[in-house]
Amino acid sequence: MEPTKICLTLSGKTIAENLAVLDRYRPYIDIAELRVDFLESDERLHIREFPRLAGVPCILTIRRQIDGGKFLEGEAARTILFGKALAFQQEDKDAKFEYVDFEEDFHIPSLQDAVHAFGIRIIRSVHDMRNPIHSLRERLDNLKSNEYEIPKIAFMPHSLKDVQRMFETAKVLKDSNHILVAMGPLGVPTRILAPRLKNFLTYTSPAETVENMPELFHLDPLTLKNTYHFSDINDSTELYGITGWPLNATSSPELHNEAYVKKGMNKVYIPFRSENFFDALSFASSLGIKGFSITIPHKETAANTADVVDEKVSAIGASNTFVNRDGRWFAYNTDASGFARSLLEFTGLKNLNHKKVSIIGAGGASRAIAYAVHSLGGKACIFNRTLSKAKELASMYDFEYAILDSSSASLLKKYNDIIIQTTSKGMGSKEASNPDNDPVYFYDFKGKEVLFDIIYHPTVTPVMRRAAECGCRVINGYDMLRYQGYEQFELFTGESMTN
Ligand code: NAP
């Protein structure tokens, strides 16, 4: 079977802009798709020249608005434009479009005859920008009217189940003469694992213009190459990943994939977002994913769903690591040890005996941190927006608890040797500290506290900056992430990540 090609979708306003971008990505791609619908009208006069200037195989696409494009001038104008772009195509492969994208309902016999005569292949596409498409196998068969056509189905999934269906359909397909794409954030696995779908190509966008079509959620070719080592993915590649929702920012794919490559392992680690943990588990089982990381908001559901839980998971009540062994899911928690290692390394302490610790937040990560603080001998008070959750967690370790607002400032002062921030407040915020991004905005740092914020995006959160300005020693969650990742890597592969 032919390896899946990488296609760069060009959505610049001018031919020159597209060519400049193409030059930057040339070493990483096989095909360029010219999205004529994004070009300014004057530029459309010159599209016939594009393949010769591009110097790579090109796809001609003029997408209508209904299919997610920008072409508004109607079908007659579109037909004329196709005609102008394809007329008198030369024998010379480098000077003509090799592919043209015609939608399922676009049948202009004269154009099709010309396309066949010039040896141009048709990508016969169907798009649903809002809903999933069902009966994929039948739709593919119906789309393809002859062997020169490449049927393409692109839809917007509503859940990971729709994406799973796509992979299950692909298992029975015999060749790579089709393109199956799920769009949006849920569809990212279809872009990275396009070889598993036996796709003819996978679409990417330059990082510079990815925002022109945000609904597609294209990756850029460099991410596909550097983070996911796309060209090494084959039928024997073992799959790993991370699930969560919305899973906007995660450094785990870089961490794991880099180690797989260093160690010469044929494995890839991908994000598979899901609002529902059971859909993620079903997706992982169906694709044969061997192990995966779990993040917000699924850690607690995961602990209650596994076939086998280790003792830390039952003590903590949250799992961030699932490993498949002979069809059974084993749950682990590596957050607690990752956190403890990072904290002890940063403070130089051996344990937390005689230390008074504040834990801000009582979510999934906080459960692991409370367990670690208790195991290290610390005395803590848990502060949370929802008091009942703080109370429930505190009762497990005989800790104090309080509501997370200004009425608790004096209690926070009593537990201020180490302040551990575990809420998601401040995540992604670049602004100065304010009540919306700083969970302890009501507390005045003295300068002697250690502040550990387990967030790592941004590297300095608003509360970290405020504490550091008062003279506190501050650390973010990146080392915790690395250390919990190292342990996950060992659980996934049986090997150490760092040796
Ligand atoms: P989670 O289970 O959803 O818990 C979220 C916590 O944040 C809860 O205590 C919640 O309070 C609190 N919270 C959310 N929005 C808030 C707001 N506007 N004001 C006050 N409190 C708010 O999430 P999680 O898994 O514990 O993760 C929390 C954070 O830790 C995330 O940013 C995550 O990226 C980070 N994390 C880092 C690592 C690492 O390795 N460095 C590991 C795990 C997690 P309520 O209970 O009142 O809702």
Residue 361 alpha carbon to ligand 1 centre in Å: 7
User: Which H or E element spans position 82?
Assistant: helix 75-86
155 φ, ψ to 5°? -140, 165
Determine the residue type at 285: S
Cα–ligand 1 centroid distance for 280 (angstroms): 20
d(CA 99, CA 236) in angstroms, rounded, equals 30
- State the pLDDT at residue 94: 73
**Would you say how long the chain is, in residues?**
499
Beta bridge partners of 496: none
- Which are the contacts of 352, defined by CB distance < 8 A and separation ≥ 6? 373, 376, 377, 378, 418
Q: What is the mean pLDDT of residues 261-275?
A: 97
Confidence band (pLDDT; 50, 70, 90) for 248?
confident
Q: Are 151 and 179 in contact (CB under 8 A)?
A: yes
User: What average pLDDT does the structure give for the chain?
Assistant: 95
Using the predicted structure, report yes or no on whether residue 89 has a pLDDT greater than 80. Answer: no
Residue for token digits 């090609």?
5
Q: Which residues are annotated as catalytic?
A: 299
Which helix H or strand E contains 285, and what residues bound it? helix 277-287
- Residue 95's pLDDT band (boundaries 50, 70, 90)? confident
Q: Which of 252, 403, 423 to mutate to test the pocket of ligand 1 (most atoms within 8 A of CB)?
A: 423
Residue 156 CB burial class (10 angstroms; 0-12, 13-18, ≥19):
buried
Of 305, 295, 360, which is closest to residue 331 (Cα–Cα)?
305
Helices (H), 151-263: 160-171, 188-192, 221-226, 252-262
Q: What is the pLDDT averaged over residues 139-146?
A: 86
Regarding the beta carbon of 485 and ligand 1, being less than 6 Å apart is answered: no
pLDDT range class, residue 90, cuts 50, 70, 90:
low
Return the residue whose CA atom lies nearest to atom 12 of ligand 1.
Answer: 423
Instruction: Give, for 9, the enclosing helix (H) or strand (E).
Output: strand 5-10
CA dihedral 379, 381, 382, 388 (to 10 degrees): 110
- Rounded CA gap, 221 and 25, in Å? 7
Candidate from 44-58, 78-92, 378-392 with smallest mean pLDDT: 78-92
The minimum-distance atom of ligand 1 relative to the CA of 426 is 32
Q: What is the mean pLDDT of residues 30-46?
A: 96
Question: Is 80 exceeded by the pLDDT of residue 336?
Answer: yes
Share of the chain above pLDDT 90, in %: 89
Residues 6+ apart with CB under 8 A from 77: none
